[in-house]
């Protein structure tokens, strides 16, 4: 599943530095706006300690983790919704991603120019929010204009859609993001075809200086207070530190470096896991002597759909699945021992796959 998170933010907030640390793909990081003109895509491994557990138990020929894609998108400025700067390109790129990672500068540094002249995380956030809201408002108004005549003719669906669209219009005009407008899930069908930007789930990344990495600072506090009603997570990290951590190949050296800053793990690990969760994703595993592998699916998927991620034939000819819980695999040390002790569950087409399930599918085509 090639799901993508778009890394956005004003110029010079640390987007490209963060992306470079996340990915082996290298975006140019420079002290001037628009150094990232084309979107850069990096495929990033999702850290998961359960893979190491299975590797020790199974001793496979190879281990295949699951991945998530990050897109480094050109910096946005005020007026982007009207095409200012690289606005049109920015908005087109962000429309294609599944979720937004919004990097916000929460550090003072006279050597790194701020596009607005001073560091203000709320201002930074609101610039991007406003530009996305204005573009969404334009999309909503265009659809309203298209269906008003149909609604006046008495078409029941058009009348209902018009009612929902007007709710979104009012909310956007009031400065709300579409994701914060309170409607029933089925009502979202009215706006699905216009692909609103502010309905995408968002994760805020507070980019702090080295001295604030453990305790935060006044900028982080302001950001957290501002987004507390959005049901959005704030991840605090120092992109400069993360770029150094990413250069270590030796796990022990990396651990020592983290220890110098009082960190137990990198901020990137937390960011990747949070982004994975933001997309409503879970992981199940297949485990055999040839390969231990993590598979990405949407939370709530049933067994046949999960099987289809491996191969469409698995879904089409699905018969049943055998499921082992990781705790049982750890306890009994092998699939054979789990079978002997009655710890393999036989599940049918209605089984909802759980995060961490170890699965084997039976199919016939």
16 annotated among ligand-binding-site residues: yes
3-state DSSP of 35-89 = CCCCCEEEEEECCCHHHHHHHHHHCCCEEECCEEEEEECCCCCCCHHHCCCCHHH
93 known member of a binding site: no
To the question of whether residue 14 is assigned a binding role by annotation, the answer is yes
Does 17 appear as a known binding residue? yes
- Helices 218-227 and 121-152 cross at an angle (nearest 10°) of 20
**Quick one: angle between helices 156-173 and 121-152, nearest 10?**
160
Are residues 242 and 266 in contact, defined by beta-carbon separation less than 8 angstroms?
Answer: yes
CA 334 to CA 330: how far, in whole Å? 8
Cα angle: 198, vertex 200, 201; to 5 degrees? 115
Nearest to 197 by CA among 263, 131, 246: 131
Tokens found for residue 315: 């879904």
Q: Give the tokens for residue 44.
A: 């990033």
Cα torsion through 155, 161, 167, 172, rounded to 10: -130
Angle in degrees, CA 76, 80, 84, rounded to 5: 105
Distance CA 138, CA 134 (A): 6
For 269, phi then psi, to 5°, come to -60, -45
Structure tokens at 256: 């020592």
Q: Is 13 annotated as a binding residue?
A: yes
| Contact between 99 and 202 (Cβ < 8 Å) | yes
Give every CB contact of residue 190 below 8 A, 6+ residues apart in sequence.
160, 161, 164, 165
Annotated binding-site ranges for ATP: 12-17
Annotated binding-site ranges: 12-17
């Amino acid at each position: 599943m090639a799901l993508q998170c778009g890394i956005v933010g004003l110029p010079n907030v640390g987007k490209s530095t963060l992306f470079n640390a996340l990915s082996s793909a290298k975006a140019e990081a420079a002290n001037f706006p628009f150094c990232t003109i084309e979107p850069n895509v990096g495929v990033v491994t999702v850290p998961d300690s359960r893979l190491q557990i299975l590797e020790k138990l199974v001793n496979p020929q190879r281990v295949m983790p699951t991945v998530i894609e990050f897109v480094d998108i050109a910096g946005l400025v005020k007026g982007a919704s009207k095409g200012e700067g690289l606005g049109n390109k920015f908005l087109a790129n962000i429309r294609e991603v599944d979720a937004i990672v919004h990097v916000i500068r929460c550090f003072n540094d006279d050597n790194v120019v701020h596009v607005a002249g001073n560091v203000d995380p709320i201002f930074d956030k609101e610039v991007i929010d406003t530009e996305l809201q204005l573009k969404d408002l334009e999309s909503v108004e265009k659809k309203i204009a298209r269906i008003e005549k149909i609604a006046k003719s008495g078409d029941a669906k058009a009348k209902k859609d018009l009612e929902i669209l007007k709710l979104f219009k009012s909310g956007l005009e009031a400065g709300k993001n579409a994701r914060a407008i309170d409607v029933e899930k089925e009502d979202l069908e009215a706006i699905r075809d216009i692909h609103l930007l502010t309905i995408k789930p968002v994760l805020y990344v507070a980019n702090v200086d080295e001295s604030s990495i453990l305790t935060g600072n006044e900028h982080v506090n302001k950001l957290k207070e501002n987004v507390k009603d959005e049901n959005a997570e704030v991840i605090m990290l120092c992109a400069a530190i993360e770029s150094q951590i990413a250069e270590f190949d030796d796990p022990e050296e990396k651990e020592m470096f983290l220890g110098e800053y009082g960190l137990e793990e990198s901020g990137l690990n937390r960011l990747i896991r949070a982004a994975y969760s933001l997309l409503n994703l879970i992981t199940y595993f297949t485990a055999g002597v040839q390969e231990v592998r993590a598979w990405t699916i949407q939370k709530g998927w049933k067994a046949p759909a999960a099987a289809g991620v491996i191969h469409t034939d698995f879904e089409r000819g699905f018969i049943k699945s055998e499921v082992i819980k990781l705790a049982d695999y750890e306890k009994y040390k092998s699939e054979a021992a789990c079978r002997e002790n009655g710890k393999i569950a036989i599940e049918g087409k209605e089984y909802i796959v759980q995060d961490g399930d170890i699965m084997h599918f039976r199919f016939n085509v």
